């Protein structure tokens, strides 16, 4: 689309089979099952070498936890 107007919402997800609420719910579940799986947490924890890496991982975990407050009708994350 060339030059969309400001009030036009660009599509952010394919909604043919599921609506935005269902897609967001599945996205949250899949992310948590992967990133908070004990094996993934252990691998990440034991691969840390510096305090900067620890800070990076903790900030990433915080962002994943913040994701649970998202709603499907928000325009930006």
Note the pLDDT of residue 61: 85
Domain count, the chain: 1
Place 57 in a pLDDT band, splitting at 50, 70 and 90: very high
Evaluate whether 21 touches 70 at the Cβ level (below 8 Å): no
User: Quick check: is 12 in a domain?
Assistant: no
Q: What confidence tens digit (pLDDT) does each residue in 12-24 have?
A: 667 778 888 888 8
Q: pTM for this one?
A: 0.57
Query: Can you tell me the mean pLDDT for 26-45?
Result: 89
User: Quick check: is 29 in a domain?
Assistant: yes
User: Quick check: is 40 in a domain?
Assistant: yes
Nearest Cα neighbor of 71 from 18, 24, 29, 30 is 24
48: domain range? 20-69
Place 77 in a pLDDT band, splitting at 50, 70 and 90: very low
């Amino acid at each position: 689309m060339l030059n969309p107007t400001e009030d036009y919402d660009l599509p952010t997800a394919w909604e043919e089979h599921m609506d935005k609420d269902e897609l967001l719910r599945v996205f949250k579940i899949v992310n948590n099952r992967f990133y908070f799986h004990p094996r993934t947490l252990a691998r990440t924890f034991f691969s840390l070498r510096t305090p900067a890496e620890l800070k990076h991982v903790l900030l990433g975990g915080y962002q994943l936890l913040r994701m649970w407050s998202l709603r499907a009708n928000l325009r930006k994350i």
